[in-house]
Structure 1
Amino acid sequence: LLDSLRFDQIDERHMNIKNAYDKTCKWLLKKSEYLDWLDANKLGEHHGFLWIKGKPGAGKSTLMKFVLANARKTMKDRIVISFFFNARGEDLERSTIGTYRSLLLQLLEQLLEREQLLERQGVIDSLGLSTLRISTNHRWGVESLKALLERAIQKLEESSVVCFIDALDECEEWQIRDMISFFEHVGELTVSAGIKFWVCFSSRHYPHITIRKGLSLVLEGQQGHAQDITNYIENELKIGQSKIAKEIRTELEEKASGVFMWVVLVVGILNKEYDVGRMHALRRRLQEIPGDLDELFRDILTRDSNSRDDLVLCLQWVLFATQPLKPEQLYFAILSGVEPEAVSRWDSNEMAIEDIKRFILNASKGLSEITKSENPTVQFIHESVKDFLLKENALGSIWPDLGTNLRGQSHDQLKQCCLNYMSIDISAHLELSKPFPKASLQEAVDLHKSATDAFPFMEYAVRNVLYHADVAAGCGIAQENLIHSLPLANWIKLDNLFEKDEVRRHTEDMSLLYVLAERNMSNLIRVHPSILSCLEVGKERYGAPLFAALGTGSKDAVRAILAVHAATQSPESWFNNLRSRYRHNECRWDEFGRDFKFSNRTTALSYLGELRDEIIFALGLEIESIMPNSKDQDGRTPLLWAARNGHQAVVKLLLDTGKVDVDSKDRYGQTPLWWAAANLHEAVVKLLLDTGKVDVDSKDRYGQTPLWWPAASGDEAIVKLL
């Protein structure tokens, strides 16, 4: 159970928040709101809620980290749990599923620590968990987690819980509203049951969410918060103690407006000016620095034009990469864009990781940082940097040549970086056997590691080049050139090199349309020139591109294939008439699972006949190479498969073509009518009988007529029809 709740980044955001500076944050411990919140006698008034709010960059997360550390140190008799949302992190770091998993894990671990060894099973039993079969890879849902967390809190009895949740604004608003409602419900339950439960939130002022009962504390205007800024400036602004220096400190405090992030950045700027002997220019420089955090970011980005290309590409990668990049990955990602001819095998003796870190700091002009975790990655120094860059096309307004389509142009640029890096001939540096060793073998694992060590950005480039191109296409940036020029053979080789699951590797003959369908690249599918090849069967595990989309649940890809084909037909065509009546939310595409494997024993149209989806089946009929009377190795036609599975709409579609042999027999002498009757599909039996083209007395090789199974099963309705 506990292992199923854990995830790799469970404490990463908390770890990467800077500790409170000396002589800061202590004021909160003496504030009346904080003391009233912790007063057990006042739980009935506020239900254990305290909400700390402040501007972006005000220092809320640092304050929460401080107060959490203090609670752990001073509240030994209470269970202290926490979660810090992280908009720059993985999905679980910025969702309430991650929140509930983390809180429940911490709560259970601390409850179990407090019990004697023999009594620990009793804790699990009391929560009703002993009967649950939960594997390490269990897929938790929000409602089940909420139910377990509520049950665990209700079982606390004499124990008390103090919970801290930071940065609510870094999660989707609808999820936060649901979470607030949940905690309000828990607050009411605990107060009525006499259980001591406290929860402290922190967030920006927007979005505003009203709670029925609770205390609030706004950082702006707090004397203690203002004093924290004064203390920080006094300790960190190293410009001496002259009269001018004191005046500058005073002006800096007044200009800060309670935004700690602004102060930290400006102190760094002024220290740099002082270090190069420009004491005389400090006051003018401070006056030039905008008092607004957004305008300060703009000033930092435009102060000089040094390494402008490095800066733009660094910002684009941190903004739009599919995952946070490691420092060495980001270094080569940027280099691939600005100096592709300089990209080669990474030699850490020539370019040490410390050199790379300095490059990134300089390239981002100090607006990015490297996380302090087991696997460090690069992120913005604060979520407000990302907000600024994405707000009202900030980058486009700073550098007009980027245009107004920042997202599309950025993804197109990142695609090009990936292509440039993929052009490296890795075989000149690695011993690549042909074929590659099986993915499960240690030899393959070692090869993967060698490739990653030598070419840190290669796996990302291969896995995401099509993603970035697809997003760019969706934003209106033409990708036809990529479709025609992608070095597909090289892509297949590299993708197979990094694939850890043998079944997901591809053959050398795989088509581009197949991988686009498999990976749900709907925008690239729309510009692919050969959409009619979507049912051409190759050597891949799913056979044809359309089956790859169905098997992987790539619904956008399926819709794109249908839309492209529809565009080739007249608006009045029977296919478009059918499509106009069709509702995607009624589709059953998930009947093709990931474990589906195409077999040449069955025709493509017969597989589609099993799907019970008339528009998909109609697509198959429209493609000339798919004949409605084609038989698989058992002699079964698409009509037989549809009848056997009771797919009434598909049967009707086939009959309406007027081209099918309604009474065709398979190798066992069984007809579509025989199978529909045997499986008791009354509506299909009626459809087939209404054609007047079926022999109700036809016998299979075992002497059974269509009447045999309905009679044996006692199905009077079908017996009467026959």
Structure 2
Amino acid sequence: MKIHARRRTGATRVRSRSANISGSSFGHHVRILQGNLNIFKDWGNRAISTGDKPSAAVQAQLEEKEKMDCRHSLSFCDIDARLHNISPVQPGTCEWVFELPLFQKWYDQTERDNGLLWIKGNPGTGKSTLMKHIFQYCQTKEKYVIAAYFFNARGAELEQTPLGMLRSLLFQLLEHEPLYYDALLPIFGKKQQDHGMGGWEWREPELKSFFLSEVPKCQSRPLLLIIDALDECSEHDVQNVAEFLQDLSNNAIDAGLTLNICLSSRHYPFIRFNEYQELILEKEEQHDEDIVKYISNNLVIKDETIEEAIREKSSGIFLWVVLVTRILNKAYEDGNPETMKQKLNETPAELGEVFETILKTNNSDKDETILILQCVLFAKRLLTPEEIYFAIIAGTNSQALSRWDSSQVTYDTIRRRIKSSSKGLVEIRRSKNETTLLDHKAFIDGRCRKIRLQRQGQAFTMTSESENEVVQFIHGSVKDFLVRNRRLQRLDPELRPNPIAKSHDRLKDCCLSYLMMESLELQDIEAMESSFPFLEYASRYLFDHAEEATLVGQAELLRILKDDNVFKRVERFHNYFVDYGQDGAPLNLLQTLAARELPKLVGILVDDGVDIDAEGLPCGTALQAAVEFESEETIKILLSKGAKIDPRRVYFGDSTLYKAFQKSNRGILTMLIERGAKLTFSDKLVGASLLHYAIYSGDADAIAMVLDKGAKVNTRAPIGNALCAAAFKGDEDLVEMLLDEGAEVNSRGIHGNSLGYAVLCGRVELAELLLEKGAKVNTPGIIGSPLGTAAYYGQLEIVELLLEKGANINARGLSGSPLELAAFGGHLEIAELLLEKGAKINTQGFFGSPLQSAGLAGHKEVAEMLLNKGANVNARGGLFGNALHAAVINNKKEVVELLLEKGANINARGLIGFARLLAKLYKKFKESQNPHASLGELKGSSTKIYGTAIQAAAAYEHEEILQLLLDKGAKI
């Protein structure tokens, strides 16, 4: 993958509707011709399909694969990791919820408006554990189709967002309700067609719209949705999800669909619902009984007084009970049972204060504790146990850094270090998907930043005992405790006044220290990955942490990186893990920062005097790199500091404005145009203007914007002017608008004038309009005249219209006459019409005569009609000399038989081309079929440029035709 999303090539080679062509020498010429004939027909993915339809079995396999691809496009790393990481209920607990009247009324839908059950509770009350238990209970029933989503504030971005919820729910529903595929596959197919495989991401608005419109239509059975921890997404998203669920419920009621929703959250933020059933966990007596059972099962000493005191002091907070039980058990295990009551009395009742007490008690290495908390809080992704272990060493004792020796630093050592440093507030959890350890998608925040998960054909995998394990806080309330009310800087006053920026600065230092360790060699990075666990993270996220730390200054880091040796070292590792397209392609520091969307660092570096317009692979300038990744803030910084929109040299032929248009980002386009970007530019494919691409995109707002910014309707490009592009698009309203704007109707492009492009898209009404507006009927294009183009593509109505308007029936173009093109396309009715109107039957063109055109494409009916109308069966000319040679080389046995029957000279010489002979095949053929044939003569003569039909059959290894020619008396 390149750092920029590769656009689809407009010159994809295609075959005509009917011509099924093969043969090495002929194929070479025809593929070139076809590429030229259709260079703009293909542009916009208008390829013309050919060949036989797949069998029913093959078609079923293709459809099944498309469904699988569609469903997989919704999946993402750890789509259900939170569900699997929630601890199961303690034995004998939580069963009471199924006996509650409000649960039964909700589950059984005894009232129409009781579709929402809202379970509320304070942080740490055990809501997620209960929700998982409800989910598992409902799965044992057959009443509902069930889909569940467990928000996870400690997980990756999608795990915390409505988009992740929508993708997960639809992913699950597709498995249970096949009708959803009927509605989703057309959307999926359009995205694949427009953007290619993996070149796009689902968006929240489109999935919301899909749910609201299609769930009431497609759901054949009652539906039950379970949404846990809604409060673990942003406050803005909380209300958005609530409104979505309310709308979905209303639509279900209108459609007569049974929809039950079970939702859990904290009491805050405030969420608005019209009607719901409410269960407040800490107020339920049975919840208190569950706490009593937990204490009884887990407290090592049986003391009813202590047990009751724990229950009373807990206020229904299960996590508080778990932490206090651990503290008391430790006192007992340390041989101090007499202190248990004292410790219980000293333990704060508020959960946050318990965290603070834990962190401050016996903390001989506060610096390491703060660092591990910073790693879990501010790392750009979840870290593995080994990664966090070596990050701690890099940040506290960088001189001790070295290659990991697992015999010395065992996995048990790593676990104990993490538990000790974090005081038990951090835990190691198994990630369900291996790819959680890396960003497996090619998009981050919707932009292409593909990480190499495959090198030399082998998938990147972790090789340690901790494979698929990550480090997280034991509960989301730990994160809340640290980031709210300045708790982190209370633990470490040196973090004032910017604890977040200073934390990122420290992580940046950890990354840089790790990359600069002496034992880390540059030669074979792949071989070193398992021995240097923090290498991938440090290489990839050094700059990201520096960006977040600019409030505390990063001039020193950039000064260090200006040292060529240092930057080359960092760049070597960085470019290995972040795929910028061409392996080893040099990126200067400014381009790297722009490509990584780091506007603050870009600004600092430019202020320090770096060449803002320096160019290099693979993106061009820093501004172009920023445009490629749609980093508006970086673009603003660069433009404000004087970056040139159009570079001195254009490495890949694409202007900055064209790159912006590719991204369909109106804000960036407007910004560049207002800063003076040229509306006419050269892109590397067709040299078109911005208006051309706006027209082909079909975006009316974009067209209006470009015209409003001063684009000229008659700006020329290989495709022609804007009118040609609109005609090729087939948009009659747009054509009329451009004509009103003064567009020249006869401005020429590669396919002639605007009429030629209207013919290409097959629009009769549009062709009539342009003819009325003065379009010349015989303006030639690369295929031929408009009549020849219409004949080639089988457009009978347009052929009749053009003949009526005076089109030259024998007009010769690069690809031949209209009759020749009709024959090549296999369009019998059009060929007959052209002959009836006076077309010359033996005219010579690119393919030779019309008969040769029909023969080489294998259209027997057309060839037979031409012969019956008087076509010369032995006419010479064209690519292969005569019709028989063309049919032989392209393995058209039926046409060969027809031509021989009609008197074709079997021994006439024509073009063979350079071709190899498979001696073993023809030796076997000679021995079994014709022992008198001389293999040596056959082999020698078949490698000449010119020869007879039998020599051509031998050269191209067409065994059946070879036998036929021998049977008909062909001379060897």
* TM-score (ref. length: structure 2): 0.56
Distance 2:263 2:372 in 1: 33
SS of aligned partner of 2:112: helix
Cα distance in structure 1, aligned partners of 2:427 and 2:661: 54
Which runs of structure 2 are paired with 1:255-274 in the superposition (5 Å)?
Answer: 255-274=313-332
1:417 aligns to what SS in structure 2?
Answer: helix
| Rounded Cα–Cα distance in structure 2 between residues aligned with 1:633 and 1:27 | 68
CA distance in 1, matches of 2:609, 2:583: 23
Query: Is the contact between residue 580 and residue 618 of structure 2 (CA under 8 Å) also seen in structure 1?
Result: no
The residue aligned with 1:315 is 373
Query: When the two structures are aligned, how many residues end up with a matched partner?
Result: 610
Q: Which amino acid aligns with 1:412?
A: D
- Aligned residue number for residue 385 of structure 1: 478
- The 5 Å alignment of 1:540-559 reads 540-559=617-636
> For the residues of structure 2 that align with 1:102 and 1:653, how far apart are their CA atoms?
43
Determine if the alignment matches structure 1 residue 409 to structure 2 residue 409. Answer: no
- Partner residue of 1:33 out of 82, 102, 107: 102
After the TM superposition, which residues 50-69 of structure 1 pair with which residues of structure 2 at under 5 Å, given as runs? 50-69=117-136
**Is the partner of 1:44 in helix, strand or coil?**
coil
Cross-structure match for 1:583: none
Partner of 2:597 in structure 1?
520
How well do the aligned residues superpose, as a CA RMSD in angstroms?
4.5
Distance 1:334 1:713 in 2: 76
Q: Aligned partners of 1:713, 1:394: CA distance in 2, in Å?
A: 77
> Who is 1:199 aligned against?
261
Give the 3 Å change call, closer, same or farther, for CA 650–85 of structure 1 in structure 2: closer
- SS of 2:264's equivalent? strand
Aligned pair partner of 2:389 in 294, 308, 331: 331
Q: Cα 1:713–1:295, aligned 2, differ >3 Å: closer, same or farther?
A: farther
Give 2:530's aligned residue.
453
Residue of structure 1 equivalent to 2:585: 507
- 1:14 equivalent to 2:83? Answer yes
Identity across matched positions, percent: 33
Query: Mapping of 1:365-376 within 5 angstroms?
Result: 365-374=423-432, 375-376=468-469
> For residue 665 of structure 1, what is the aligned residue in structure 2?
none
2:176 corresponds to 1:100: no
Aligned partners of 1:676, 1:99: CA distance in 2, in Å?
Answer: 43
Structure 2 Cα separation of the partners of residues 105 and 606 of structure 1: 36
SS in structure 1 of the partner of residue 339 of structure 2:
helix
Aligned runs of 1:183-194 on 2, under 5 Å? 183-194=245-256
| 8 Å Cα contact 2:328-2:344 kept in structure 1 | yes
**Residues 32 and 503 of structure 1: CA distance in aligned 2, closer, same or farther (over 3 Å):** same
Number of the residue aligned with 1:220: 282
Q: Flag the 1:32–1:180 CA change in 2: closer, same or farther, 3 A.
A: same
How do 1:587-606 and structure 2 match up within 5 A? Answer: 598-599=650-651
User: What aligned pairs does 1:151-550 form with structure 2 within 5 A after superposition?
Assistant: 151-157=214-220, 159-239=221-301, 241=302, 245-374=303-432, 375-425=468-518, 428=521, 431-432=523-524, 448=526, 450-473=527-550, 476-486=551-561, 487-499=566-578, 501=579, 503=581, 505=583, 507-508=585-586, 510-528=587-605, 529-530=607-608, 533-538=611-616, 540-550=617-627
Paired with 1:605 and 1:196, the residues of 2 have a C-alpha distance of 51
Q: By how many angstroms is 1:24 displaced? A: 1.4
**Counterpart in 2 of 1:666?**
none
Q: Corresponding residue for 2:445?
A: none
Tell me if the contact between 1:608 and 1:617 (Cα under 8 Å) persists in the aligned partners: no
Q: Deviations over 1:449-487 (max 9, x none)?
A: x332111111111111111111110xx201111111022
What secondary structure does 1:220 align onto?
A: helix
Tell me the CA shift for residue 498 of structure 1.
2.5
> 2: CA distance between counterparts of 1:280 and 1:606?
77
- Contact 1:25–1:66, Cα closer than 8 Å, also in 2: yes
Q: 1:713 to 1:314 in 2, by over 3 A?
A: farther
User: Cα distance, 1:78 vs. partner?
Assistant: 2.6
Bigger radius of gyration: 2
Gaps of 5+ in 1: 112-122, 433-446, 567-574, 576-588, 622-627, 655-669, 681-711, 717-722
Match of 2:146 among 52, 60, 80: 80
Amino acid at match of 2:513: N
1:537 CA drift (Å): 2.1
- Mapped to 1, the partners of 2:88 and 2:661 lie a distance apart of 62
C-alpha displacement of 1:602: 8.4
Query: Using the alignment, how far apart are the partners of 1:66 and 1:649 within structure 2?
Result: 55
CA separation of 1:208/1:614 partners in 2, compared to 1, >3 Å: closer, same or farther?
closer
Asked if the contact 1:531/1:565 (under 8 Å) is kept, the reply is no
In 1, Cα distance between equivalents of 2:638 and 2:345? 58
Offset of 1:360 from its aligned partner? 0.8
Tell me the CA shift for residue 125 of structure 1: 7.6
Rounded to whole Å, the distance in 2 between the matches of 1:106 and 1:340 is: 47
Greater mean alpha carbon deviation, residues 189-198 or residues 350-359: 189-198
Helix, strand or coil at the partner of 2:225: strand
User: Cα–Cα, structure 1 residues 461 and 609, in superposed 2: closer, same or farther, change >3 Å?
Assistant: closer
Residue 104 of structure 1 aligns with an amino acid whose one-letter code is L
Cα distance between partner residues in 2 of 1:615 and 1:185: 37
Displacement after TM superposition at 1:155 (Å): 3.3
Residue deviations 1:631-660, cap 9 Å, x none?
A: 9999xxx9x989999999999999xxxxxx
Q: Distance in 2 between matches of 1:642 and 1:603?
A: 10
Separation in 1, partners of 2:602, 2:80: 40
Deviation at 1:168, TM superposition (A): 0.3
Q: Which runs of 5+ in 2 are unaligned?
A: 1-69, 433-467, 695-702, 711-715, 727-769, 775-972
Counterpart residue type for residue 589 of structure 2: L
Deviations 1:80-101 (A, max 9, x none): 2211000111122111122122
Instruction: Note the C-alpha offset of 1:550.
Output: 1.7
Task: Give the secondary-structure state (helix, strand or coil) at the position aligned to 2:552.
Answer: coil
CA displacement, residues 605-644 of structure 1 (integer Å, 9 cap, x when unaligned): 99999999697589799xxxxxx9xx9999xxx9x98999
Letter of the 1:231 partner, please give it. K
Q: Does 1:45 align with 2:113?
A: yes
Deviation readout 1:96-131 (Å, 9 max, x if unpaired) = 1221222222222123xxxxxxxxxxx438843454
Cα distance, 1:549 vs structure 2: 1.4
2:627–2:660 CA contact under 8 A, matched in 1 = no
Q: 3-state DSSP class of the match of 1:199?
A: strand
Tell me if the contact between 1:535 and 1:604 (Cα under 8 Å) persists in the aligned partners: no
Could you say what secondary structure the match of 1:503 adopts? coil
Alpha-carbon distance between aligned partners in 1 of 2:626 and 2:656, rounded to the nearest angstrom: 14
**What is the deviation of 1:33?**
1.5
Question: 1:5 is matched with which residue?
Answer: 74
8 A Cα contact 1:124 1:130, kept in partner = no
Mapping of residues 669-688 of structure 1, within 5 Å: none
1:14-37 CA-partner distances (Å, limit 9, x unpaired): 011111112211111111211111
TM-score (norm 1): 0.75
Note the C-alpha offset of 1:312.
Answer: 0.4
Q: Which residue of 2 aligns with 1:24?
A: 93
Structure 1 residues 498 and 606 mapped into 2: Cα distance closer, same or farther (>3 Å)? Answer: closer
1:153 offset after TM fit, Å?
Answer: 4.7
